[in-house]
C-alpha cells in the first residue's frame, strides 16, 4: 500500500515572517492528517528556518533544485551536500520552470537526479507535456523521453527511493487542472513503463500529480488508483488550503 504524499512547492515566495506563520499553521494541523506524508519546499535561503521549525514535527522538507556538481567554481549554485547540512529529505529536480526558464535539458535533469541519489537525497523528478505537445497527441512520448533520460543514467533501480511528479505544464499556475481521468491516464502510463523493467518497484513508486491542485479538486484526483499525492504550488502557500488537500487524501 502506497502512502499518500502531499508536497508544497513554495517556489520563489515567502519571507521569514510569512514562512514562520505558514509553518505554524501546518504544524498545528499536521496531526489531523497524519495518514498522509507532508513535506515543504522553501527557497534555499529559508531551509535553516524550516529545519528549525519542523525538526520536531512529522512534516518533512526539501529543496527545489540542486547543482549537478559536487562543489567548486559554480557561482550561484547550491550543492547537494549543502542541502544535507539542513537535513533535507527530498529535492525536486526538473521542475518545468527549471526546464523552460533555465534551460535544463533531460540530460541535465538526469544528472541532477543521479547527484541527489548518490548522496542519499530522494529526488522528486518532475515530468510533463506543454499544451502544444498535448494537442499534438505526444504527451506519452514526452513523458517517456523525460523518464528515459533518467533510466539511461541510473537504471530502473534509480527509481527505488525516488518520487515522480506528473505536472502538465499547461496546468501549472494556470488554474486549469487536468481532469482526474487525464491525470490518471498518464500516471498509469508511467507506472506501466516502469513495470516493464521491474513490476515490484513500479507498484511501489510514488507518482504525484501537480498543476493547479487545490482543496476543491484534490479528492477527485487523489481517488485515482495511480495518483499517490500532489506537488502543490500556489495552494501550498496557505496552511488551511494545504492541509485541506492532505485531508482529501486521508
CB of 63 to ligand PGA, least distance (A): 14
Say if residue 212 carries a ligand binding annotation: yes
CB nearer to ligand PGA: give 9 or 156.
9
CB of 71 to ligand PGA, least distance (A): 28
Question: 55, 173, 179, 250: which one contacts ligand PGA (CB under 6 A)?
Answer: 173
Please state, in angstroms and as integers, the Cα–Cα distance from residue 107 to each residue in 99, 114, 153, following that order: 11, 11, 9
Residues 4-43: x where in contact with ligand PGA by CB under 6 A, - otherwise, as a string: -----x----------------------------------
Instruction: Please return the burial class of 179, using the count of CB atoms within 10 Å of its CB with bins 0-12, 13-18 and 19+.
Output: exposed
Q: Is residue 176 within the footprint of ligand PGA (CB under 6 A)? A: no
H/E/C letters for each residue in 70-100? CCCCCCCCCCHHHHHHCCCCEEEECCHHHHH
Q: Which stretch binds ligand PGA (CB under 6 A): 23-31, 109-117, 145-153, 204-212?
A: 204-212
Q: Is residue 164 within the footprint of ligand PGA (CB under 6 A)? A: no
Question: 167 an active-site residue?
Answer: yes
Size of the site for ligand PGA (CB under 6 A): 13
Question: How many CA atoms within 13 Å lie on the side-chain side of 201?
Answer: 17
Question: 37, 104, 106, 167: which one contacts ligand PGA (CB under 6 A)?
Answer: 167
Please give the residues from 65 up to 124 whose contact with ligand PGA meets the rule CB under 6 A: none
Give the containing element (helix H, strand E) for 165. Answer: strand 163-166
Q: Which of 161, 111, 130 is nearest to 5 (CA)?
A: 161
Q: Is residue 172 within the footprint of ligand PGA (CB under 6 A)? A: yes
Which residues, 6+ apart, have CB-to-CB distance to 36 below 8 Å? Answer: 3, 4, 5, 6, 229, 246, 247, 249, 250
Q: Closest residue to ligand PGA, Cβ-based? A: 233
- Maximum distance among all Cα pairs of the chain, rounded to whole angstroms: 48
Distance CA 158, CA 149 (A): 12
Binding site for ligand PGA (CB under 6 A): 9, 167, 172-173, 210-213, 231-235
Catalytic residues: 95, 167
Amino acid at each position: 500500500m502506497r502512502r499518500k504524499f502531499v508536497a508544497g512547492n513554495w517556489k520563489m515566495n515567502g519571507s521569514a515572517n510569512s514562512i514562520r506563520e505558514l509553518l505554524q499553521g501546518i504544524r498545528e494541523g499536521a496531526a489531523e492528517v497524519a495518514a498522509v506524508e507532508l513535506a515543504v519546499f522553501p527557497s534555499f535561503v529559508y531551509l535553516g528556518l524550516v529545519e528549525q521549525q519542523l525538526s520536531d514535527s512529522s512534516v518533512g522538507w526539501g529543496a527545489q533544485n540542486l547543482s549537478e556538481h559536487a562543489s567548486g567554481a559554480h557561482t550561484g549554485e547550491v550543492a547537494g551536500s549543502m542541502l544535507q547540512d539542513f537535513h533535507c529529505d527530498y529535492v525536486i529536480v526538473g521542475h518545468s520552470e527549471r526546464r523552460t526558464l533555465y534551460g535544463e535539458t533531460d540530460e541535465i535533469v538526469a544528472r541532477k537526479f543521479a547527484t541527489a541519489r548518490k548522496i542519499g537525497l530522494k529526488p522528486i523528478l518532475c515530468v510533463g507535456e506543454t499544451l502544444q505537445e498535448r494537442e499534438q497527441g505526444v504527451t506519452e512520448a514526452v513523458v517517456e523521453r523525460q523518464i528515459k533520460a533518467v533510466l539511461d543514467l541510473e537504471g530502473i533501480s534509480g527509481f527505488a527511493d525516488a518520487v515522480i511528479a506528473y505536472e502538465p505544464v499547461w496546468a501549472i499556475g494556470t488554474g486549469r487542472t487536468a481532469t482526474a481521468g487525464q491525470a490518471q491516464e498518464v500516471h498509469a502510463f508511467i507506472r506501466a513503463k516502469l513495470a516493464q523493467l521491474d513490476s515490484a518497484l513500479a507498484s511501489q513508486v510514488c507518482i504525484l500529480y501537480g498543476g493547479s491542485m487545490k482543496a476543491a479538486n484534490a479528492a477527485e484526483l487523489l481517488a485515482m488508483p495511480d495518483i499517490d499525492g500532489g506537488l502543490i504550488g500556489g495552494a501550498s502557500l496557505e496552511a488551511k488550503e494545504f492541509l485541506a488537500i492532505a485531508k482529501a487524501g486521508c
